[in-house]
Chains A and B, each alone.
Chain A
Amino acid sequence: MLQAVNINLTRDDKAVLTEVNIALNCNEVVALVGPNGAGKSSLFNVISGELFSTGQVLIEQKLRATWPPRELAERLAILPQSSQLNFPFSAFEVVNIGRMNKTTGHLENEQVIRQVMSWTDIQDKAQNIYTHLSGGEKQRVQLARTFAQIWEKPSLGGRYLLLDEPTAALDLYHQHQLLSLLKELALLQIGSLVVLHDLNLAARYADRIVVLDHGKVVAQGTSGEVFTQSLLKNVFSLEGEVITHPKSGYPVILC
């Protein structure tokens, strides 16, 4: 289990996160939603270790900071919002960087990379230069890289993915494809924490939804429990309706 316990974060004497508690099991997909400035990215950065805060981040009951970096990298992979890479690696080589700590042989390594690239539907661009790809294609290459990083199952405990707005650059087909992939990965004991802006996407795929507003967790639970008319109004300032999808039964938010 990945846990953030009692996270408090202030910036310039203003509270960014207050008493945030959040947990992620390795068999679930959790969506982190909330309006701009709610503290989603800050919480994300606290969990990924980029921001220093009070409180504790635990992975398998062990403080994040006490994990040896490489062992941590085998269990926790992170996809940031955008990447700064501007050197002309091929897409294949970028995914291969995710395999940097692995001692698997050359052939097996290549198979892993092909597999994860087909998961994110980017295998056709493997030999293309990364910097020449479109935003969505780059995102899918980076996704494949994070999958490649945690490909091997560790002897103890689960694996975790933190994805910061992974769907931002993706077309509709690939948005749905990505989230169903995360659902499948949860079956393999790879839990995902996904920052999402599209509430319908969250409602359709996430096992649990955590709603953040003004640095506090204001609601938490299944999509049916969380998405109500009053939440839409209070948190997102939206006059909306929550209806049930006639076929799948998932809540659908209409505004």
Chain B
Amino acid sequence: MKISRAPVVFIILSVSLLAIMLFSLMIGPLSFSPWQSLQTLGALLVPQAFPEITATHIMVMQNLRLPRTLLCLLVGANLALCGAMMQGLFRNALADPAIIGVSSGAALGAAGAIFLSSLVIPFTSTLSTELLVALFAFLGGLIVTFLVLRIASTRHGTSVSVMLLAGIAVTALAGAGIAILSYFADDTVLRNIVAWQLGSLVGANWVMVSLCSLVSMALFAFIMPVAKPLNALLLGESEARHLGVDVQRLKYTLVVLTALAVGVSVACVGLIGFVGLVVPHLIRLLVGPDHRYLLPLSGLLGACFLLLADLLARTLFMPIELPVGVVMGCIGAPFFIFLLMQQKQYMV
């Protein structure tokens, strides 16, 4: 049985994650040796213990490398985990976290914030603009998600297929909104909007890391309570109800968790596609569709995946950095097509 592979996959992914993290800490304009990066991490905790580490190294580690690496890890894990949850909820291996409209709502919120801050308060600091953008993105995502939920709900419950269609509709609407904003924006604002949509981890800081880690904790706390009900849901909604699952509550839990996680991720790093789609798919090929294994392993692989993409984004054309969303698209899309070709019979 495929499930018996789960422990092996877990060990391999954990080791890979640690290795990629180490690489992520080492590589950059100021490069660290593996031993140096570990020592610098130690120096962050106990400054006196490693006198040979310079203040510059500590600064780079503390303010740039470490938050960026951690943010990558958390965002990747959150997006992949939400993708796995959405694929379970929609009983469709092609669903991704954006399907409920949360990404597009967040994108519209962010574009609106960038546009507004250029009009109303052109002299504000970049930091407050960044915070405003993050806040608007988060709110946009949340509002759109609740709109979609509202459209799809009747007094008898929430229809998953209406939710899917409503998600497509609000995504189109948000796209139109962004287009209008871009049309009226001047060059600088337009450039900012586009840059934000491409997704980037350059601005990683400790506030983002703590926000995303809170979200991760919430997600991981819900893995076990939702895993078995999600398995039952794959049989069909009524079958899940007959097995004693409170299907309506399950739907709300999953949608709210996803809106929260994707909203926060998008607010921190912009739009990053494909993690939520490809990662759960890959894990399903490796260990099968049981959510008790699929969910945690997706989180783990998602972290590896985004870290790797960010590493490539940073290093491919050093010293110029590519937006991570672009790298993800360039690797993710062909990889996904390759998977589809391999697994045609699996998709029926």
Residue among A48, A70, A83, A89 having the largest count of chain B Cβ atoms under 10 Å: A89
Q: Do B1 and A87 touch across chains, with their CB atoms under 8 A apart?
A: no
* A80 to B3 CA separation, bound complex (whole angstroms): 27
Nearest A residue to B156, CB-CB: A52
Q: Which residues of A contact B348 (CB under 8 A)?
A: 86, 131
Query: B228 at interface (Cβ–Cβ under 8 A)?
Result: yes
Residue among B1, B156, B243, B246 having the largest count of chain A Cβ atoms under 10 Å: B243
Q: Do B244 and A84 touch across chains, with their CB atoms under 8 A apart?
A: no
Q: Do B243 and A97 touch across chains, with their CB atoms under 8 A apart?
A: yes
Q: How far is the CB of B237 from chain A (nearest CB, A)?
A: 9
Query: A5 at interface (Cβ–Cβ under 8 A)?
Result: no
- Which residue from B93, B228, B234, B246 sits with its C-beta under 8 Å from A85? B234
Q: Do B289 and A97 touch across chains, with their CB atoms under 8 A apart?
A: no
Query: B253 at interface (Cβ–Cβ under 8 A)?
Result: no
Query: B341 at interface (Cβ–Cβ under 8 A)?
Result: no
Binds B, one of A8-16, A29-37, A71-79, A220-228: A71-79
Main secondary structure of the interface of A (DSSP, over half): mixed
Scan A19-30; emit 1 where CB is below 8 A from any B CB, else 0: 000000000000
Q: Do B289 and A88 touch across chains, with their CB atoms under 8 A apart?
A: yes
- Which residue from B1, B231, B284 sits with its C-beta under 8 Å from A127? B1
Q: Which residues of A contact B228 (CB under 8 A)?
A: 97, 100
Q: Which residues of B contact A69 (CB under 8 A)?
A: 241, 244-246
Q: Do B243 and A101 touch across chains, with their CB atoms under 8 A apart?
A: yes
Residue among B229, B232, B235 having the largest count of chain A Cβ atoms under 10 Å: B235
* A93 to B93 CA separation, bound complex (whole angstroms): 18
Q: Which residues of B contact A49 (CB under 8 A)?
A: 241-242
The tally of residues in A whose CB lies under 8 Å from a CB in B reads 33
Nearest A residue to B346, CB-CB: A88
Q: Which residues of A contact B156 (CB under 8 A)?
A: 52
Nearest B residue to A78, CB-CB: B242
Nearest A residue to B238, CB-CB: A50
Q: Do A73 and B244 touch across chains, with their CB atoms under 8 A apart?
A: yes
- Which residue from A74, A83, A90, A98 sits with its C-beta under 8 Å from B236? A83
Contact status of A97 and B232, CB under 8 A, knowing A83-B239, A88-B346: yes
Q: Do B231 and A100 touch across chains, with their CB atoms under 8 A apart?
A: yes
Q: Which residues of A contact B232 (CB under 8 A)?
A: 97, 100
Nearest B residue to A127, CB-CB: B1
Query: A147 at interface (Cβ–Cβ under 8 A)?
Result: no
Contact status of A93 and B243, CB under 8 A, knowing A85-B236, A100-B232: no
Query: B290 at interface (Cβ–Cβ under 8 A)?
Result: yes
Query: B288 at interface (Cβ–Cβ under 8 A)?
Result: yes
Q: Which residues of A contact B288 (CB under 8 A)?
A: 88-90, 93
Q: List residues of B (1-29) whose CB comes within 8 Å of A's CBs.
A: 1-3
Q: List residues of B (217-260) whose CB comes within 8 Å of A's CBs.
A: 228-229, 231-232, 234-236, 238-239, 241-246
Q: Which residues of A contact B2 (CB under 8 A)?
A: 90
Q: List residues of A (40-98) whose CB comes within 8 Å of B's CBs.
A: 48-50, 52, 69-74, 76-78, 80, 83-90, 92-94, 97-98
Q: Do B234 and A100 touch across chains, with their CB atoms under 8 A apart?
A: no
Q: Which residues of A contact B57 (CB under 8 A)?
A: none
Query: A149 at interface (Cβ–Cβ under 8 A)?
Result: yes
Q: Which residues of A contact B245 (CB under 8 A)?
A: 69
CB<8 Å pairs between A and B, sample of 6:
A73-B244, A77-B242, A83-B235, A83-B236, A93-B3, A100-B229
Which positions in A face B, CB cutoff 8 Å?
A: 48-50, 52, 69-74, 76-78, 80, 83-90, 92-94, 97-98, 100-101, 127, 131, 145, 149
Which positions in B face A, CB cutoff 8 Å?
A: 1-3, 91, 93, 156, 228-229, 231-232, 234-236, 238-239, 241-246, 284, 288-290, 346, 348
